[in-house]
Amino acid sequence: MSTETIQAPAKKRRTFIPSLASGLITAIAIPLCAYARDLFNLGYDVQVNIFELGPSGMGASFPYNTEFVINFLAMCVVLNVFFWLSLKLLLLKASGKEREKIVLEAIAVGCIIAATMGVVFHWGMDRANSFYTHQNGYDTSNVYAYLYFCDEWLGHGLQETSMLGFFAILVIAEHMAPRTRKMNWVDLLWIAAIAGVIAVTFGYAALKSETAMVMLVASVIMLGAEFTFVAIRRPKIAESPLLLATIVGNIAVIVQHVAFIFMFGLSPWYPWLRA
């Protein structure tokens, strides 16, 4: 009689779809980095000597806060690193296509630079904006118009369009990597989470800043490109979670902006909304 034991077949391990993992990493990193400044708040004075004023310009200072330093580090370093790792996670799985990888990485570097510039403009000028309005109130002077443009338009615009660009780049990388498996109901929950971050970041949050019209146009362009890609290439949506998440997210963004236009009109409020 045989003494060999019969082993049960090994349970098949369910793998996480790489593109879904990349999208989640970026989607989670955006709100975490955006609100990292609230973790530590300490005010201090920065001493400055103004050379042109001679001795009378020595010892000048302005108040600053650690929240601005933390925000610079989180949004300019941590978020960009997470996005880059997310992209490399997908590109490492794409065999060959070296030229396409180089082009996509170059575009990604451009988005990272633009996002960094947006953070610098926004948070650098935001403090100056606060100093000016505290002393002089709101006005239409050249000085304040410049501060306002760099803070609310250029800063927010570069930052938010670049972050949407992060997702667009990941969608392209998703279709360079080989398919793994079809999505299941758990994956749909992760897709909803990614779409939710896109909807809030480029929809609701943009409506509270001055970039709502910019993000409406950007979402329309990205959604149009995605629909064109689907119509021409006919990818398997069940195996393209990031494509599905960004389509849903962009639709949600557009619906929010269009609903606001129908409710309040284009002028003089849109794209300005104050809570």
C-alpha to C-alpha distance for 257 and 145, rounded to whole angstroms: 25
Per-residue pLDDT of 50-90, as tens digits, reads: 888 888 888 888 888 888 889 889 999 999 999 999 999 89
Predicted confidence at residue 165, as pLDDT, reads 96
C-alpha to C-alpha distance for 109 and 127, rounded to whole angstroms: 27
Per-domain residue ranges of the chain: 26-177, 179-275
Predicted confidence at residue 10, as pLDDT, reads 45
Predicted confidence at residue 95, as pLDDT, reads 78
Predicted confidence at residue 270, as pLDDT, reads 56
Predicted confidence at residue 271, as pLDDT, reads 55
pTM of the model: 0.87
End-to-end CA distance of the chain: 80
Predicted confidence at residue 196, as pLDDT, reads 96
Predicted confidence at residue 275, as pLDDT, reads 42
C-alpha to C-alpha distance for 222 and 225, rounded to whole angstroms: 5
In which element (H, E) is residue 46 found? strand 43-48
DSSP 8-state code for residue 64: E
Predicted confidence at residue 264, as pLDDT, reads 76
Which residues in the chain show pLDDT less than 50? 1-2, 8-12, 274-275
